[in-house]
Amino acid sequence: PKALLKGLKYLFSMLLPFIWAFGIAYFLNPLMRYFENKWKWKRYLSLIVV
């Protein structure tokens, strides 16, 4: 029980940066698409602005 909780805590701490990155990318993607479609920017330019 204690070892299992310790292992899960360790696993969660390892995955937390990836979870944050996924969340940020999920919320910024519509903004990138807006720049790409509205002003016909290339993806790399939209990425730099966002």
- pLDDT digit string, tens, across residues 1-50: 899 999 999 999 999 999 999 999 999 889 888 877 887 767 777 667 76
pLDDT value of position 40: 73
Query: What is the predicted pLDDT for the residue at 37?
Result: 82
Rounded to an integer, what distance in angstroms lies between the CA atom of residue 41 and that of residue 4? 49
User: Do 16 and 8 contact (CB within 8 A), yes or no?
Assistant: no
Assigned token pair, 28 = 């910024």
Gap between the Cα atoms of 14 and 21, Å rounded? 13
Token pair 């979870």: residue: 19
Percentages helix, strand, coil for the chain, rounded to the nearest 5?
A: 90, 0, 10
